[in-house]
Chains A and B, each alone.
Chain A
Amino acid sequence: MTSPVVSRTIVRLGVRSIFGRWRGALLFVLPAVLIGLSVLARALVGQDDEGARHTLYGLGLVVIVPLVALLATSGLLAPEIDDGSISYLLAKPISRHTIVTSKLLVAAACVLAFAALPVLVAGLVLLTDTPSYAVGFAVGALAEGVAYCALFALLSVLTRHAVVVGLIYLLVWEGLLGGLLDGVRWLSVTRWSAAVVQQVADVSLVDDLPLAYAVLALTVVIVAGAWQTGRALRAFNLTGDE
């Protein structure tokens, strides 16, 4: 028996679960910070390539986009796994991949609304005369955000401490080591997406990272992450209070 790829019910429940918790409010704060700072930078220094690059990459792609993805994904899966209410989704004759795809669709929509679009707006504010710059960053942000969603979804089903592990990964690997060691670019979602940005916008973010490799790596993370999450959910252990 085949079940649909996306369940409208799970999408609807997912949207409500994100905005039904206090975490949902943070999703509005993060893009507001990005756009606010961009407006400030534009007002103070005018249209400045260097400043725009620092804001959109250093703040947008390195901080805001991963955090939005982490908030959206962990808000969708981790609490339900923690309190066991995911059993109401799992005790149904629907494919586990349908559950994961539906949840990731909601997470991706969050990334679009709270990360990619704000990056676009911030880019247009910072460099109004070169819209391709903003578009490049927005495309990169979307690809990056969706890849992070798949990664964090898998993390949510593998560990009860998905948010902490996700934050440590972002800070240590993507942030600290990514800044210190050049080689990390081959295994860094943020750097891959930077390679995508470079293709559209006229800006230099990472050296020596072929676009084909970056696109392939992002695709692999998204597809494999989603697939593995579904497989892990198939073997989900619901333990009682005992």
Chain B
Amino acid sequence: MSEIRIDHVSRWYRNVVAVNDVTMTIGPGVTGLLGPNGAGKSTLIAMMSGFLAPSTGTVTLDGEPLWRNEQVYRKLGLVPEREALFDYLTGRQFVVANAELHGLADPGAAAQRAIALIEMTDAQDREISTYSKGMRQRIKMASALAHDPAVLLLDEPFNGMDPRQRIHLMELLRTMGAEGRTVLFSSHILEEVEQVARQIEVVVAGRHAASGDFGAIRRLMTDRPNRFVLRTGDDRLMASVLLADTSVRGARLRSEGGIELEASDFGRFSEVLPRLAREHGVRLHEVTPTDESLESVFSYLVAP
């Protein structure tokens, strides 16, 4: 059982802050690191894998520092986001080389086991340059699993995978988590994370925005105020009717027509809206959420 501890860690590049005073502990099981692109997920993973020094604070694996300590790789496997591999090798040669570099007693057998685990046995003797994006992702995964690590870090592992490969990788991560390994992967897609991860850590704009199981995170994300634009048969009547309901916090008639509306309880609002419209005989032409982008969902979480 291994544990990565991030203690009051900040990291800046010149005067740009990438990670801002983050404290979190990644324990056994699958943890999802969720956040929009550019939130600092890769920077955090780079520090957790010993490829970046924190500007302040400490990152440790079972008490050992990760920076400038190559011995940590005995129990840590990393699947980087970048695509580049040793293209001139076959998949098998690549994984065997990784196993050899770990100094394993039987690198050939270790490589075969890892390749079988990620279902690449059929393609293992092809050159990596001929691989698809999903196959590259999987052979990267095999190279990180060759030494059977207690900790596995994956940076955006589902990128470029087709649905079948995605499901397979999700199963694999779940199994590894159930075996007691510490598995952490990053993603910018909530649905992806909540299907696999028991624990979710949300980072937004370099800050640790939320932490918890997926139910808690899901509630945080859906219980925020939601903004919509409605176009109806009778905007003034509909606005006054909706404003009377507790699920709505504000409504404004737009000069160009339509209602700008802020709902405080999305669940209730989505149920009340069609009922009220029917009761008052108002036709709903259009209901458009105006802030559904992931960034706005996340930025709500860090709003002061």
Instruction: Give the interface of A toward B (CB within 8 A).
Output: 1, 3, 7-10, 12-13, 16-17, 20-21, 83-85, 87-96, 234-242
Is the CB–CB distance between A16 and B101 below 8 Å?
no
B101 to chain A, nearest CB (A): 4
Asked if B278 is at the interface of the complex by the 8 Å CB criterion, the answer is no
Given contacts A84-B82, A93-B103, 4 further A-B contacts (CB under 8 A): A87-B82, A236-B51, A240-B82, A241-B42
Q: Does B82 contact A91, Cβ atoms closer than 8 Å?
A: no
Interface residues of B in 60-105 (CB under 8 A from A): 68, 70-74, 76-78, 80-82, 84-89, 97-98, 100-103
Shortest Cβ distance from B76 into A: residue: A91
B37 touches A242 (CB 8 A): yes
User: Would you list 26 pairs from A and B whose C-beta atoms are within 8 A, ordered by A residue?
Assistant: A1-B71, A7-B101, A8-B100, A9-B100, A9-B101, A13-B97, A16-B88, A84-B82, A84-B84, A85-B85, A90-B70, A91-B73, A91-B76, A92-B98, A92-B101, A93-B72, A93-B102, A93-B103, A94-B70, A234-B68, A237-B53, A238-B80, A240-B155, A241-B42, A242-B37, A242-B43
Chain B contacts for A237, CB-based, 8 A: 46, 51-53
Whether B97 pairs with A9 at a CB distance below 8 angstroms is yes
When chains A and B are docked, how far (Å) is the Cα of A237 from the Cα of B11?
A: 12
Chain B residues with Cβ below 8 Å from A84 are: 80, 82, 84
10 closest Cβ contacts across the A-B interface?
Answer: A240-B42, A20-B88, A83-B84, A238-B51, A84-B82, A92-B101, A9-B100, A85-B84, A93-B73, A93-B74
CB of B143 closer than 8 Å to a CB of A = yes
A162 smallest CB distance to B (angstroms): 17
* Distance (whole angstroms) from the CB of B187 to the closest CB of chain A: 14
Once bound together, how far apart are the Cα atoms of A38 and B37, in whole Å? 59
- In the complex the two chains form, what is the Cα distance from A241 to B68 in whole Å? 22
Contact B88 A241 (CB under 8 A): no
CA distance A16 to B143 in the complex (A): 18
Roughly how many angstroms separate A103 CA and B123 CA in the complex, as a whole number?
29
A100 CA / B49 CA spacing, docked (Å): 21
CB-CB contacts below 8 Å: B10-47 with A:
37-38, 42-43, 45-46
Q: Chain B residues near A92: list those with CB within 8 A.
A: 70, 73, 98, 101-102
Given A1-B71, A238-B52, A13 contacting B86 (CB threshold 8 A): yes
B86 close to A17 (CB less than 8 A):
yes
CA distance A12 to B85 in the complex (A): 16
User: How far is the CB of B46 from the nearest CB of chain A, in Å?
Assistant: 6
**Residues in B116-163 with C-beta less than 8 Å from chain A:** 143-144, 155
Alpha-carbon gap, A83 to B70, bound state (A): 21
- CB-CB under 8 A from B102, the residues of chain A are 92-93
Q: How far is the CB of B104 from chain A (nearest CB, A)?
A: 11
Taking A16-B88, A88-B143, A241-B81 as contacts, is the C-beta distance between A96 and B52 under 8 angstroms? no
Closest to B72 in A: A93
Q: Given A17-B88, A242-B38, A96 and B70 touching (CB < 8 A)?
A: yes
List chain A residues, Cβ under 8 A from B85: 85, 88
Rounded to whole Å, the gap between the CB of A40 and the closest CB of chain B is 36
A238 pairs with B46, CB closer than 8 A: yes
Q: Are the C-beta atoms of A87 and B80 separated by less than 8 Å? A: yes
Task: State the CA gap A90–B74 with chains docked (Å).
Answer: 12
